[in-house]
Chain A
């Protein structure tokens, strides 16, 4: 892979992040209602409002306000969460870690299950097994994640089968089995939602590749079925799946937001929802920017991985 390719993707990521930070800042600054008003409440005097505005730099032109904010962010200073009256950074890191645990477990499990299932369904196209896999994945993508989560709670955490706690969180440092039992349901929900997606992608890509000329020519060279499928078809089918996996992280982030709410799990998604409902602008800015950063980084890494497995990019003259 040429350094130029890496550099290009990296620059693109930086530009994207820059633009995103501007969008986030712009949107949150035109929130209805003056920020100072939000802090001081409805009955604040004009003088007090003006003083606070001055203190927070709210009367400065947009670009200066943005400059101050992004400068702080780049130095790790996200400011104060208004509604909780505490610095944002430690809170953010704690919540991010919690969400990352959920996401990591889900992605790993999904990859292990979904890709083989997708390949299998493609190879046994139109068989009974394929039909079952197809129908269940259809249901998987047609039911919203909060619904899946709620159904799981009813089934597995209800009075009948009280297997797992339906809400809450225990840190891994305290009690590993308990911590695990708390994330079982959220992870299960995420897995169900994502498996359907990735399985469908893998299946359709695999079917496409199996119909390609080079797979036919591999067959006609007398290679065994195993070689044709696993050596010639699978690698080509998985290349686009990498990109889809990365894009699905965006999907995952959305699901995480909802699922953390369902299971009252203290992750960054729940923090975002909290920031929106409590109109905590600095917290909203910080959380959304962080999540966007994660997403961009994942996509950048996926681009690199794609470049590594695809010789067309690796050996591009």
Chain B
């Protein structure tokens, strides 16, 4: 092995803000070697992106490198002038950003933006540059590359943009590509295409990758070595195998245990790490993780020295912890199934909520359309969706963005009027009914707690309002008492009652949102992507809380998410949506095992699991998701279906056919589908 491409030597970076000096990165030393993929893991605010940008000699105006050296091919770049930095960025390092939509200039064609860098740095002609760009797009299998070059950024999809950014980064044949959470903005089926492309590039080209992410599944798939960063400090580093099998730092161990994963036993609660990320302005001396660490002792008030731990594969395993390798317990309680009984103790058999042939079309008609009496253009957000939910049951709804799953939640709450079909609640048709008692029984928790809590209101106002509105309590003293009980219920300290939402962390805000929903003892709660905006380490605690509340109040959930692992953990049954239609409904075990709808199988196989090696083969879906304004005829999935199709696929919409409560909407023979190989090995799903 040759010397490292990039090596950070005791780097510290800080930002000046009006509140004080934020010490974003502290004494980090690591190196990325030639041709390897180094994954840097951390939660939001851990300083991982700052490190990435600093490695390219780029810091915002208020940031500065306080100490240390950043060596690129042995040369310190911290003292580089403009020209040297330009050369470094243009020739030797490429970068792929988090949000493909904002990273491209809307004013210029893709071709223009691809070629300008190499024209500038290598002095080649425009024709030559275009030829190289074309060759690169072909090399990474982008369909119709000639036309892509002529297009503007707003004319192509996010997934494609991200692949083009890779082409851009590769064009100058760099030694290193830095990727800053490149798949966070992408759907799973697009993400897997991107990851496959990366694997392919690595096998063909000699380029090192510094991959920044919080997704352990991707790390397990791609990385050679892994570094974990917490509150600006590197806490552990080692080979991928070592890090997944024998993590030594308590934080790494906690992180590994808190990932909701397919392989986890559903009967066990997920582990959630206690505490919060420390404030980077006033950091305690010593180990930053100590306040959250169960083995922390007095020695932890001094900075831990690096410890080398012998590893099986001989790759250096460094840990920054006084108690590295100390035995920790991540045992959690078990989840008790919530079974609902009526007053006589008989298990309920009537569904709580039933949806029949629900339709929601958004009509768009412009003034000219009306003038010319043209039929309005429709977006088919929901089309013929039917399912039912029993009392105390959780139905998970999964699908990619734009499949209509959020619309489903809103239509059930009657926040938008259904275009057709009906919703029954306890046997009563409530499709077009608006009443206070219904609002009380059916509640919703939204994706982003930043947006769902009014920033101007204190928690007291937020929590007491539903109580007042529905006449559950009145009077200051009683309301306050009730609010305290609600805070207790979601394990928030009572002192929070008169705080405003912005004084709380993301996970805490989500707890408030949940408390608000449960203030009126609803019997049905729609959870719309409730964990998506949260860090991995708190996701599990939110799911645990929901499960506890469900058992206590015998509530039913409609759990909408794109995260299949989270859905599997909480749901008894799962519904899979594609382009506004349900394609599969069944119990969690049924959905995770054959027979699969071809789309379900593709979706399941796209997940990256935190296991080495990946236990399953991924199916790559071709093409883009069609627009819901212009869905394909017949089966909506047919344009991307990888199975041999019959005539009916293109002409007839398949009906949902049930067997043992497991519904599939596919024209293919059930026997064929049943003979399908399982995505995950049997032993995996316990």
Contact = CB atoms under 8 A, between A and B. Distances in A.
- A and B pair up: yes
Contacts of B16: none
A4 B86 CA distance: 44
Nearest to B102: A213
Contact of A311 (B56, B89, B94, B107): B107
A306 to B, nearest CB: 12
A156 interface: no
Interface string B184-205: 0000000000000000000000
Interface in A278-317: 309-312, 315, 317
B91 A235 contact: no
B550 interface: no
Interface in A208-246: 212-225, 227, 231-232, 235-236
Nearest to B121: A222
A222 B99 contact: no
Interface string B19-32: 00000000000000
Given A311-B106, A312-B106, A223 B116 contact: yes
Contact of B89 (A4, A219, A235): A219
Contacts of B152: 311-312, 315
A256 B53 CA distance: 51
B121 to A, nearest CB: 6
Nearest to A125: B61
A223 B106 contact: no
Given A227-B120, A311-B107, A315-B155, A220 B102 contact: no
A311 to B, nearest CB: 4
Contacts of A315: 152, 154-155
B626 to A, nearest CB: 15
A220 B89 contact: yes
A216 B180 CA distance: 13
Interface in B76-92: 82, 85-91
The B interface is mostly helix, strand or loop, or mixed, namely: helix
A317 B95 CA distance: 31
B56 A220 contact: yes
A9 to B, nearest CB: 13
Nearest to A220: B95
B82 A223 contact: no
A34 B333 CA distance: 90
Contacts of A225: 82
A317 B116 CA distance: 27
Contacts of A4: 368
B117 interface: yes
Considering residues A213, A222, A315, which has the most beta carbons from chain B within 10 angstroms of its beta carbon?
A222
Given A221-B90, A225-B82, A311-B152, A236 B105 contact: yes
Most chain A Cβ neighbours within 10 Å, of B58, B105, B116: B105
A222 B107 CA distance: 19
A131 to B, nearest CB: 17
Contacts of A216: 58
A165 to B, nearest CB: 46
B168 A214 contact: no
Nearest to B366: A8
A217 B56 CA distance: 11
Contacts of A221: 89-90, 94-95, 116-117, 168
B483 to A, nearest CB: 41
B273 to A, nearest CB: 31
Contacts of A311: 106-107, 152, 154
Interface string B93-110: 011010100111111100
A235 B107 contact: yes
B86 A222 contact: yes
A214 B82 contact: no
B102 A224 contact: no
B58 A220 contact: yes
Nearest to A212: B102
B105 A224 contact: no
A236 B117 contact: no
Contacts of A227: 116, 120
B86 to A, nearest CB: 5
Contacts of B106: 214, 236, 310-312
A235 B107 CA distance: 8
A213 B97 contact: yes
Interface in A172-229: 212-225, 227
B102 A222 contact: no
Contacts of B116: 221, 223, 227, 231
Contacts of A317: 155
A215 B102 CA distance: 10
Contacts of B105: 214-215, 218, 232, 236
A222 B97 contact: no
Interface string B139-164: 00000000000001011000000000
Contacts of A212: 102
Which of B102, B103, B107 is packed against the most chain A CB atoms within 10 Å? B107
B58 A224 contact: no
Nearest to B83: A224
Interface in B41-66: 53, 56, 58
A26 to B, nearest CB: 25
Contacts of B88: 222
B199 to A, nearest CB: 24
B247 to A, nearest CB: 32
Contacts of A8: 368
A74 B462 CA distance: 61
A315 B97 CA distance: 25
B155 A222 contact: no
A214 B90 contact: no
Interface in A136-176: none
B116 to A, nearest CB: 7
B154 A312 contact: yes
Interface string B224-262: 000000000000000000000000000000000000000
B364 to A, nearest CB: 14
Given A221-B168, A222-B117, A224-B120, A214 B89 contact: no
B404 to A, nearest CB: 22
Given A220-B89, A315-B152, A214 B117 contact: no
Nearest to A236: B107
A214 B121 contact: no
Interface in B522-551: none
| Candidate in A214, A216, A223, A225 with the most chain B CB atoms within 10 angstroms | A214
A47 B103 CA distance: 78
Contacts of B91: 222
Contacts of A223: 86, 90, 116-117, 120
Nearest to B109: A311
Contacts of A220: 53, 56, 58, 89, 95
Interface string B103-133: 1111110000000110011000000000000
Contacts of B155: 315, 317
Interface in A92-108: none
A282 to B, nearest CB: 35
Given A223-B86, A227-B120, 13 more contacts: A214-B105, A214-B106, A220-B53, A223-B117, A224-B86, A227-B116, A231-B108, A232-B107, A236-B105, A311-B107, A311-B152, A315-B154, A315-B155
5 contacts: A219-B58, A219-B89, A223-B120, A232-B108, A310-B106
Interface of B: 53, 56, 58, 82, 85-91, 94-95, 97, 99, 102-108, 116-117, 120-121, 152, 154-155, 168, 368
The 7 closest A-B pairs by CB, nearest first: A222-B90, A222-B89, A213-B102, A214-B105, A217-B103, A311-B152, A222-B86
